[in-house]
Amino acid sequence: DAGITQSPRHKVTETGTPVTLRCHQTENHRYMYWYRQDPGHGLRLIHYSYGVKDTDKGEVSDGYSVSRSKTEDFLLTLESATSSQTSVYFCAISERLVVDTGELFFGEGSRLTVL
Amino acid sequence: AQSVAQPEDQVNVAEGNPLTVKCTYSVSGNPYLFWYVQYPNRGLQFLLKYITGDNLVKGSYGFEAEFNKSQTSFHLKKPSALVSDSALYFCAVRAYNTDKLIFGTGTRLQVFP
């Protein structure tokens, strides 16, 4: 299994509070992604990173921000959590771009509940 | 619009029987197609991909997928299902001229003993 650790694995929080999810990898892969998984929607891309301090928005980025100050860490922050952000969040890494036939390796997910 | 569709929420099959999980896509240019599997409480795992070449692609755990350009489909198949194949399966396609994957909504495969 690829060395990807997500923390926390489970979190319950209240509306309006800030939340940070961490993705840590030991593979030294350049590319990192944050997805959310919701029933009926599959996986949707929130933000992604092509390297240290190089990030960009995915299809559902509103309400989320990211940071990548080190190759191994990719942080996802919800500045003010809302109930619509209740979801399972997955971090993924890749050694190569998808266009270069790179495969994604996923972490085990972080289940976030916003009350 | 670029998209991928998995028309079945759930597929039920008896152990030992062949299985098919359907996927159709809509994307500009040549499609890059992928299948991933998710076991309970785990992240997704890569199964196989089609980029170019032979329309029948072989992947992990005895799975294969058939690319059909005229029908814009990429169905996942296995000749003989195992109970341990029970999981959630996702089809994905690379969005044209980007490095992003578009995932389907997933199909739950249930293999009964």
B23-74 confidence digits (pLDDT tens): 999 988 888 999 999 998 888 999 999 988 899 999 999 999 999 999 999 9
Whole-number average pLDDT of chain B = 93
Q: Is A113 exposed, middle or buried (0-12, 13-18, 19+ CB in 10 A)?
A: middle
Q: Does A98 touch chain B (CB under 8 A)?
A: yes
The whole-number pLDDT of residue A113 equals: 97
Whether B109 shows a pLDDT value over 90: the answer reads yes
Nearest of A94, A103, A107, A108 to residue A27 by alpha carbon: A94
Question: What are the C-alpha distances in Å from B77 to residues A3, B11, B24, B35, B111?
Answer: 29, 12, 14, 11, 13
pLDDT surpassing 70 at residue A2: no
Asked whether B93 and B101 are in contact (CB, 8 A), the reply is: yes
Convert the pLDDT of each residue in A51-80 to its tens digit.
Answer: 999 999 999 999 999 999 999 999 999 999
B41 to A109: CB separation less than 8 angstroms, yes or no: yes
Query: How high is the pLDDT of residue B67?
Result: 96
| Tokens describing residue A30 | 């350049």
- Asked if omega into A8 is within 30° of 0 (cis), the reply is yes
Q: Check pLDDT > 70 for residue A1.
A: no
Pairwise CB contact (< 8 Å): B45 & A109:
no
| Whole-number Cα distances in Å, A97 to A30, A101, B98, B108 | 9, 7, 10, 28
And the tokens for B90?
């996702």
pLDDT given for residue B88 in this prediction: 96
pLDDT at A99: 67
Say if residue B99's pLDDT is above 90.
no
Query: What is the predicted pLDDT for the residue at A103?
Result: 86
For an interface test with A, give the residue of B101, B102, B107 to mutate (most A CBs within 10 A).
B101
3-state SS assignment for residue B85: helix
Tell me the H-state helices in B1-113: none
The residue type at B79: P
CB atoms within 10 A of CB A112: 21
CB contact under 8 A, B43 and A106: yes
Indicate whether A33 pLDDT > 90.
yes
pLDDT for the residue numbered A40 = 86
Inter-chain contacts counted by CB atoms under 8 A, chains A and B: 53
Nearest alpha-carbon partner for B74 in B31, B2, B24, B32 = B24
